[in-house]
Chains A and B, each alone.
Chain A
Amino acid sequence: MVDGMYGAQPSPGPNTKKCSPTVQKQQQQQAENADGGAGKKKKKVTAAQLRVQRDLQELTLGSTMKMSFPNPDDILNFTLTIEPDEGMYKGGVFHFSFAVNQNFPHDPPKVKCTQKIYHPNIDLEGNVCLNILREDWKPVLNLNAVIVGMQFLFLEPNASDPLNKEAADDLRTNRDAFKRNVRSSMAGGSVRSVSYERVLR
């Protein structure tokens, strides 16, 4: 940033115009999409709504996932239900609330597990540790990417970077004991004196 930035910009570039067209003048040059009429008072579909409408349409849910919309007109808030058909969490029914704000897709959706479950990557408050929900979120990612990531958490719980440290330690040190803990927690039992919600189908 020292020498290169001295002096004026190399060329005046497209940013200077010899004359200063008025706004109206410019506008005459662009005549397409002509439109008029009533209805100005009605609110426009927001960018976030539009993006979610598209994202929903492009979802691939498979047989293990369902969504429900408490208010079908509000597509920014919904529940995702995952029923893993393989892996250690098979037989469970897991609910996640999705809250998408108006700053989507600049902001990621907020996802929380609504049940108290025993899982290394989900804490007792329902917080979910999934990279694309936080540090690796990019506006080009869509809801499908999130849902795929969520599903993966149940097939391959990740012990290496946990939110529930006890569960992760169990998974790491004794996989069989962890499996037993998953079964009993899903049935509404206690693990290490923490009681969990029954989530079996």
Chain B
Amino acid sequence: MADAFPAVLTGPSSKERRYDRQLRLWAATGQQALEDSRVLLVNSDGTFGPQSTGVAGVAGVEALKNLVLPGIGGITIVDPATVTEVDLGVNFFLEAESLGKSRAEETCRLLRELNPDVQGYAYSKPVSQLLQDPNFLAQHKLVIISGPTKRSTLQAVCQEAKNLGIPVLYTHSVGFYSMFSLQLPAEFPIVETHPDPESTQDLRLLNPWPELIAAGTALGDLSSMDDHQHGHVPYILLLLHFIEQWKQTHAGKPPSNYKEKTEFREFVRSQARTNTPEGGEENFDEAVGAVMKTISPFELRSSIREIFAMDQCQQLKPDSPDFWIIASAIHKFCEENKGLLPLPGSLPDMKAQSADYVSLQNIYKAKARRDVDEVTATVRQLETQIGRTAPIPEREIEVFCKNAADIKVVRGRHIPLLSEDSDAATTKTIRGGFALDDRLVAIYVAFEILDAVVSEVQSIADTENGGDQLRLPNIEDEELWTKHTDRILKVLARDTGTDIPPEQKDILEDAMWELRRTEGGELHNISALTGGLVAQEALKVLTQQYVPLDNTCVFDGARSQTAMYRL
């Protein structure tokens, strides 16, 4: 929850009111990140055949809508097409008066109406021309490309984005199907992953620190308490107390396996007083309920260990991003504190008297504070060592410590293009899907074939420029489809040395049949849904909160299903 906005007697500002419903998700820091971002949409780059403007690009436009509304800093639309009647049937951000005008400019104008705080830029020329300006792409924090588009353009944009460390989303929406992939930098770290609060409680019952131990000991003799006191001992102290009792009869060891924990739980249950008006005690119920979840030694997750082992964490450089400097400091903390991470410091609500709860909470908060201080001291040392002058803000270190157990580093991959260069892992995932009758993986392959067909159509159109337009192939050219289907099937057979069996090929046939129903055209619903999903990923990438897609998502609008693949 966001608590970054200061309370004001006059109430929140109009901006806070406007964005209230989203600030409750990504808070002021996420909002600031959004407002500092400009997103590029590359919306078309050639035809689907004679008299076609190619991609209508509605999925991309809808994605922009979902970014303009929450207040993205700016949008850039690159689209050489002019508005046709076809566009008016799919794109809500065009109007009858837009016919014949620049699609980029008209869409940009109508999108900007949604939020006066958002800057908008429109370019009615191919993106390849714009890329000649080395500063063009660098102004953006994210690129969305509407597919299918020709390989040469796609690769040029993706390569330059990769060099600049800018994430790319490559989207498709055709008929009832859609898919998109996310290209992230080689390492994409996330501190605020927003895990389920229920699943992430680090209470340290088996690794208590002196103050917490003292609080447990201070309970004294439970049997001498009156019912009121007895029924209000915070369950955390109850558990600490009973763990100590248990240890005395179990060679100094806490309950460690399932059987012992079950026994321990029954022991705790038996200690509750039942001669009360309610016939039991809520704090004991809470203690019983928490045994299985909280009585486990702290264990560092393998994903965190992997992060500590990464070069970026081991070998800091003067220009290392903040994430790696703090991660490195926390690694040191972990080594010096018997494998523990800094304490998050939050305490779940529990049955207790106000003052007792607050003092227990203070014990957790104080320990968390000390841990942050320890990490901060290390961060400062590291900064000196690597010769960094601007110190990392305290707040950043604090947030990192609080989330240390749940940080994530996504290892970015390229936009997957199924070709002779595809890696074995990708073809294996796809073959595995075919073997399991996975119809969504077949949709991905069908899209790859469509992409190849379109790429060839557009490349021919480029070379025929000014020539006989009617001689151009279009995307319904059966020869092109057969050629590229055969080629892709060969790619899929490459690593196993076996062809896809005929019965498995049927699911690809079905996918292509459905995909080709609209001859490359978009259905608004499917594009709107895809634009929602793409914007969702864009928000996660730009705010560096939550966990983005890794790396490909397919939506089947005929069966109302989605699937994710790492390709």
Query: Real complex partners, A and B?
Result: yes
Select the stretch in A2-10, A59-67, A106-114, A182-190 that faces chain B: A2-10
| Complex-state Cα separation, A160 to B232, whole angstroms | 8
Question: Given A7-B433, A8-B438 in contact, is the A158-B561 Cβ separation under 8 Å?
Answer: no
Contact A8 B440 (CB under 8 A): yes
Asked whether any CB of chain A lies closer than 8 Å to the CB of B198, the reply is: no
Contact A15 B559 (CB under 8 A): yes
Interface centre among A5, A8, A12, A16 (most CB of B within 10 A): A8
Assign chain B's interface to a size class: 20 to 34
Asked whether any CB of chain A lies closer than 8 Å to the CB of B566, the reply is: yes
Asked whether any CB of chain A lies closer than 8 Å to the CB of B330, the reply is: no
Asked whether any CB of chain B lies closer than 8 Å to the CB of A157, the reply is: yes
| Complex-state Cα separation, A162 to B276, whole angstroms | 14
Identify which of residues 147-169 in chain A touch chain B, using a CB-to-CB cut-off of 8 Å. Answer: 152, 156-160
Contact A172 B228 (CB under 8 A): yes
Interface centre among A9, A12, A160 (most CB of B within 10 A): A160
| Complex-state Cα separation, A15 to B559, whole angstroms | 8
| Complex-state Cα separation, A158 to B226, whole angstroms | 14
Choice from A6, A156, A157, A160 contacting B564 with Cβ under 8 Å: A6
Identify which of residues 262-279 in chain B touch chain A, using a CB-to-CB cut-off of 8 Å. Answer: 276-278
Contact A160 B276 (CB under 8 A): yes
Q: What residue in chain B is nearest A157 (Cβ atoms)?
A: B277
Contact B278 A158 (CB under 8 A): yes
Contact B437 A12 (CB under 8 A): yes
| Complex-state Cα separation, A6 to B444, whole angstroms | 14
Q: CB-defined interface of B488-520 with A at 8 Å, one 1/0 digit per residue?
A: 000000000000000000000000000000000
Contact B561 A8 (CB under 8 A): yes
Asked whether any CB of chain A lies closer than 8 Å to the CB of B60, the reply is: no
Question: Given A156-B277, A157-B277, A158-B277 in contact, is the A7-B437 Cβ separation under 8 Å?
Answer: no
Identify which of residues 227-244 in chain B touch chain A, using a CB-to-CB cut-off of 8 Å. Answer: 227-228, 231-232
Contact A6 B559 (CB under 8 A): no
Contact A7 B277 (CB under 8 A): no
Contact A9 B563 (CB under 8 A): yes
| Complex-state Cα separation, A85 to B564, whole angstroms | 66
Question: Given A7-B564, A15-B560 in contact, is the A160-B437 Cβ separation under 8 Å?
Answer: no
| Complex-state Cα separation, A130 to B276, whole angstroms | 15
Quote the shortest CB–CB distance from B291 to chain A (angstroms).
21
Contact B277 A6 (CB under 8 A): no
Q: Which residues of A contact B438 (CB under 8 A)?
A: 7-8
Q: Which residues of B contact A157 (CB under 8 A)?
A: 277
Asked whether any CB of chain A lies closer than 8 Å to the CB of B452, the reply is: no
Identify which of residues 208-266 in chain B touch chain A, using a CB-to-CB cut-off of 8 Å. Answer: 226-228, 231-232
Q: Which residues of B contact A160 (CB under 8 A)?
A: 227-228, 231-232, 276-277
Quote the shortest CB–CB distance from B358 to chain A (angstroms).
18
Q: What residue in chain B is nearest A10 (Cβ atoms)?
A: B436
| Complex-state Cα separation, A12 to B227, whole angstroms | 57
Contact A8 B433 (CB under 8 A): yes
Contact B564 A5 (CB under 8 A): yes
Contact A16 B559 (CB under 8 A): yes
| Complex-state Cα separation, A93 to B270, whole angstroms | 39
| Complex-state Cα separation, A186 to B441, whole angstroms | 75
Quote the shortest CB–CB distance from B15 to chain A (angstroms).
34
Interface centre among B228, B277, B439, B566 (most CB of A within 10 A): B277
Question: Given A158-B277, A160-B276 in contact, is the A9-B433 Cβ separation under 8 Å?
Answer: no
Q: Which residues of B contact A10 (CB under 8 A)?
A: 436
| Complex-state Cα separation, A160 to B283, whole angstroms | 12
Contact A6 B439 (CB under 8 A): no
Q: What residue in chain A is nearest B279 (Cβ atoms)?
A: A156
Quote the shortest CB–CB distance from A138 to chain B (angstroms).
16
Asked whether any CB of chain A lies closer than 8 Å to the CB of B121, the reply is: no
Q: What residue in chain B is nearest A9 (Cβ atoms)?
A: B561
Q: What residue in chain A is nearest B554 (Cβ atoms)?
A: A8
Contact B441 A6 (CB under 8 A): no
Q: What residue in chain A is nearest B278 (Cβ atoms)?
A: A158
Q: A7-B441, A15-B559 are in contact. List 17 more A-B contacts (CB 8 A).
A: A5-B564, A6-B566, A7-B433, A7-B438, A7-B564, A8-B438, A8-B441, A8-B561, A8-B563, A9-B561, A10-B436, A16-B561, A156-B277, A157-B277, A159-B277, A160-B276, A172-B226
Q: Which 5 A-B pairs have the closest CB atoms?
A: A8-B563, A156-B277, A158-B277, A8-B440, A8-B438
Residues of A at the B interface (CB closer than 8 Å) are 5-12, 15-16, 152, 156-160, 172
20 A-B pairs with CB atoms under 8 Å apart are A6-B563, A6-B565, A8-B433, A8-B436, A8-B439, A8-B561, A9-B563, A10-B436, A12-B437, A12-B439, A15-B559, A16-B559, A152-B277, A156-B277, A157-B277, A158-B276, A158-B277, A159-B228, A160-B231, A160-B232
